Structure formats: structure tokens, C-alpha cells
Amino acid sequence: MGSLDRVREILPQDVLEVVERETPIPTIAQTAGRLSREDPTFVRADIGQIVSVDSELEVLYGPPVGIEPLREALAEFWSLTFRVAEHTGTALKPENVAVTTGAAEALTLLFRCFGSEKTVALPRGYWENYVNGVALGRGRPVVVDYFDAQGRLDIDGLSRQIDEMNVRCLVSNFPSNPTGAVLSEEDAEQIARLVQDKDIVMIADEVYSRLRFDGHSPISLLPFAPSHVVSISSASKEYLLPGARVGYILSARSELTNAVLRKLIRANTASPNVLGQERVLALLQEDLKALRAGEEPALLVKIRAELSARRDQLVSVLSRHGMSTVGRPDHEPMGTIFLMAGLPEWWSGNDTEFVDAALERKAFSAIPGSAFGIPESVRFSFGSMEAKSIQELDRRLQEWKAGIS
Ligand SMILES: Cc1ncc(COP(=O)(O)O)c(C=O)c1O
């Protein structure tokens, strides 16, 4: 059973107790806030922070699920970007959004809600921190293959793996960190049908959804199966603000975002970073102006053009050194800020030894593919390399290879 229509029935008992526990402080604060807006002389003795010593310095606590204008902007942003109303008949509203301390908190809380004591399936080529999130949520991580050896979505194979391993929570992450693999609309339709047929929850990590270089529109799985998919995203990537710690969870079922997560976020962090949310809101409002006019946001166009050029340059440098891209077979890395490359023939050790040797030579850093479930490969971030660093990588690989042969 995994329909978000019955979210309280699928929560583990200990999480449900937190969700259902009476919380007098926020309840009174809500009434008090309303009364003091109506009557500025209303006396507030309920607030747990120091006020009116130096009001210039004050940054007050925010609501657990995020400041209202940001929730409103995110609901509109997601609805416009992914044509939510066209698919589901209704656009998302502020109550369908819960702002979190980065997508990292979003993942930990969702694993706690939907993966506890259950088998949670990660896509082969997974962000390695998922394993920690599933462990904190007391789940059992397993790895599943979405694609066959030709790089086609293998929906029957995925269905078989779900049954064989009794998977109750499936994670998707497209465009993928680490491989850059993306989904087509047909892929999304099939995956959505599968999670509905199996009645399992899908956590769709869509932090890179708009960083896609193949010219296709970005895809979110949420509108394809609103009763079973919870999407998460973040300001860390597209708004260049990882330090702001602003992520968010979207669900077409507001019981999750407005009620369940309100309690869990309050228990976990009290609220996401208010200053960070204000920064993100300003950038999002610029994006919304463009989206409402049917145009692509200028910042996105700029970031995507730069990343796409870096990706092309990196792919050509690596292939010159015998390191071809791996991931979704027969599929170029088409999104994110990463790519995976196979080990070169001139290297006889494994991926960890390759990266250790590169560090030992003080040549360059990268992450061994085994950290992401794809051994014998290496993940390079072109998010962190400008054109001149990619040229330098070329020179250093050349020097290394010449020393070996
Ligand atoms: C796939 C994926 N999900 C989630 C995150 C976490 O992002 P945030 O900075 O919003 O916590 C990252 C960060 O690298 C990521 O690559």
C-alpha cells in the first residue's frame, strides 16, 4: 500500500505519533499572530525569541514549511514549468509545498516516512548520500536497474526487481547524478504507470530537472502520478545557492506537505533558513516573470549554455584519453553537472586506485564510480571546472599517460 491518498496509514507508528501529538506552541502562535495583526497593542508572551532590543538585527523564526510567499511562488513555478494542470486538471497551491533545509533534509524526512523497515530501491548510478538517508530512516537500500544493456527503459525488468526484492519505496533521479541520464515523456509515463500499478511511493529527486542539454522540456514525474509521486528539488543547483540551504518537497496531496511535514520539519530544524528563502524568492520571482510570458528564464539559459559547453569540452578531453562516458548505455550525459567516464586502457588498477593515484600525483580530483554503484568508472563534475581547468585536466592526463607508456 503506497498511495499518498492514505498517507497517515502508511506512516510508521513512531512518525505518526509525532505527527499527531498536540503542539501548543505553534497552535497558540498562529492565533496570537492573527490577534496582533488585528490589534497592534495585543500582548504577546508566547514567542521564544528576543525581540525589541535591536530590531535591525532581528531575523525571526519562519514557519516550519517555509515562508508563504516562497511556497506560493514555488507552487506556481512547478506548475508552469511542468504543465501540472494540463496533466492533473489542477495547478499546485502553496499547501502542496514544504520548504526544507536543502533537498538533503527533504530526502531524510521522506525516507523516514516511506522507507522505515522497508526496502528502498535506488537507481543504479545513485547519489551516494541516499544510502545514508535510507539508513537514518531505518530502511534497507537496494539498487535497481531502470535501463537495459541498449539504454532503453526496461519497465518489465524494473517491475520484476520490485517484486523480487519487495520494494515499497522507489527513488528516481533524472537527470541523474552521477550519469547525466534523462527520461523521455514516454519513459515518464511508463514509470508512473508502474508505481501506480504496484501501489508504491516514488521519491522523485528532481534537483537537476531543468539542467538538461538535449533541447527537450524538463520532466517531473509528479504530474504523471500525483497519487504516488513526491517530488523534491532545491535552490542549490539552478540558483547557484547551495549555501542558502533551501530545498523543497512537492506533493499533490497537501496532507503530506501541509500537515505531516509541518510537524516533522518543526521537530527536525524548526524552520528552513529564512534569509536563504528570501534570496531564493527574489530569483524565483524573476523566473516567474519569464515563465508567465511563455519564455525561458534568463538565469537558466545562461547556466545551461555554460554547462553544456563545459560538458562537450570534458567529453572530448576524456575520450581523447580513452575514457568514454558510461551510465545509461548508448546515451550521452544530457543533464546535471556530472558525467561518468570509464577507466582508460592505460590504467590497470580499479577506480578507487585511479582516483588515489591522481591525488597522489597532485594532478586532479574526481570521485570513484564505486561510490555510486558503478565501479570501474569515475565521476567528474563539470559544475566545478571552467574551460581552463578542463584544458589543464587534458594536459595532466596527457602527462600521466606518457609517464606510464
Ligand atoms: C541528486 C541530489 N539530490 C540532492 C542533493 C542535495 O541538495 P541540497 O544542496 O539541496 O541539499 C544533491 C546535492 O548534490 C544531489 O546531487
* Residue 3, pLDDT score: 86
From the CA of 400, how far away is ligand 1's center (Å)? 32
Run of H or E residues at 121: strand 119-123
Task: State whether the beta carbon of 102 lies less than 6 angstroms from ligand 1.
Answer: yes
Name the CATH superfamily housing domain 298-404: Aspartate Aminotransferase, domain 1 (3.90.1150.10)
**Ligand 1 contacts CB of residue 234 (under 6 A):** yes
Atom of ligand 1 nearest to the CA of 247: 10
Q: What is the C-alpha R_g of the chain?
A: 23
Q: Between 138 and 335, whose confidence is greater?
A: 138
What is the average pLDDT across 237-261? Answer: 95
Handedness of CA 64, 67, 68, 74 (dihedral sign): negative
Please indicate whether residue 205, judged by its CB atom, sits closer than 6 Å to ligand 1. Answer: yes
- Counting atoms of ligand 1 from 1, which one is nearest the CA of 177? 1
pLDDT tier, 334 (very low <50, low <70, confident <90, very high otherwise): confident
Pick the CATH number of 4-22+60-292 from 3.40.640.10, 3.30.9.10, 3.20.20.80, 3.60.10.10: 3.40.640.10
What is the mean pLDDT of the segment spanning 367-387?
Answer: 95
Where do the structural domains in the chain lie, given as residue ranges? Answer: 4-22+60-292, 298-404
The answer, yes or no, to whether residue 56 has pLDDT greater than 70, is yes
Look at strands 201-205 and 377-381 and give their pairing. unpaired
Q: Is the CB of residue 242 below 6 angstroms from any atom belonging to ligand 1?
A: yes
Q: What long-range pairs does 355-361 form, CB within 8 A, spacing at least 24? A: 358/400, 361/396, 361/400
Which residues, at least 6 apart from 293, have a Cβ–Cβ distance to it below 8 Å?
A: none
Gap between the Cα atoms of 63 and 271, Å rounded: 6
Cα four-point dihedral sign 383, 388, 392, 398: positive
Q: Please identify, by atom number, the ligand 1 atom nearest to the C-alpha of residue 106.
A: 11
Collapsing DSSP states into helix, strand and coil, what is residue 115?
Answer: coil
Burial tier of 129 (Cβ tally within 10 Å: 0-12, 13-18, 19+)? middle
Is the CB–ligand 1 distance for residue 104 below 6 Å?
yes
Task: Tell me what the mean pLDDT of segment 338-361 comes to.
Answer: 95
Average pLDDT over residues 108-113: 98
3-state helix, strand, coil in the chain (%, to 5): 50, 15, 40
| pLDDT digits 0-9 by tens, 160-215 | 999 999 999 999 999 999 999 999 999 999 999 999 999 999 999 999 999 999 88
DSSP helix/strand/coil, 108: helix
**Ligand 1 pocket, 207 CB below 6 A?**
yes
Confidence of residue 1 (pLDDT cuts 50, 70, 90): low
For ligand 1, whether the C-beta of 177 sits within 6 Å is yes
In the predicted structure, residue 329 carries a pLDDT above the cut 80: no
How many CB atoms neighbour CB 378 within 10 A?
27
Compute the distance between CA of residue 115 and CA of residue 276 in angstroms, rounded to an integer.
29
Percent of the chain at pLDDT exceeding 90: 89
| pLDDT above 90 for 36 | yes
300's grid cell:
537558466
pLDDT of residue 335: 87
| Residue nearest atom 7 in ligand 1 by C-alpha distance | 103
Choosing from 99, 105, 129 the residue with most ligand 1 atoms within 8 A of its CB, the one to mutate for a pocket test is 129
Q: How far is the CA of 53 from the centre of ligand 1 (A)?
A: 38
Residue with cell 544510502: 131
Question: Ligand 1 pocket check: which of 132, 177, 203, 379 to mutate, most ligand atoms within 8 Å of Cβ?
Answer: 177
Task: Confirm or reject: Cβ of 173 under 6 Å from ligand 1.
Answer: yes
Average the pLDDT over 118-134 and give the result: 96
Q: Say how many Å lie between the CA of residue 401 and the centre of ligand 1.
A: 34
User: What's the CA-to-centroid distance between 103 and ligand 1, angstroms?
Assistant: 6
How many residues are there in the chain? Answer: 405
* pLDDT score of 328: 78
Least confident of 10-14, 52-56, 76-80, 121-125: 52-56
Cα(237) to centroid(ligand 1), Å: 8
Same fold, 4-22+60-292 and 298-404: no
Q: Is the CB of 247 under 6 A from ligand 1?
A: yes
Q: For residue 53, name the pLDDT band (cuts at 50, 70, 90).
A: very high
Measured from the Cα of 336, ligand 1's closest atom is 16
Q: How large is the average pLDDT for residues 337-344?
A: 94
Q: Which atom of ligand 1 is nearest to the CA of 235?
A: 10
Give mean pLDDT, residues 244-268.
97
Mean pLDDT value across residues 293-308: 95
Average pLDDT, the chain: 95
For residue range 392-403, list pLDDT tens digits in order.
Answer: 999 999 999 998
Residue 176 CA: nearest ligand 1 atom is: 1
User: How far is it, in rounded angstroms, from Cα 331 to Cα 325?
Assistant: 9
pLDDT at 330 over 90: no
* pLDDT for 405: 65
Q: What's the CA-to-centroid distance between 177 and ligand 1, angstroms?
A: 9
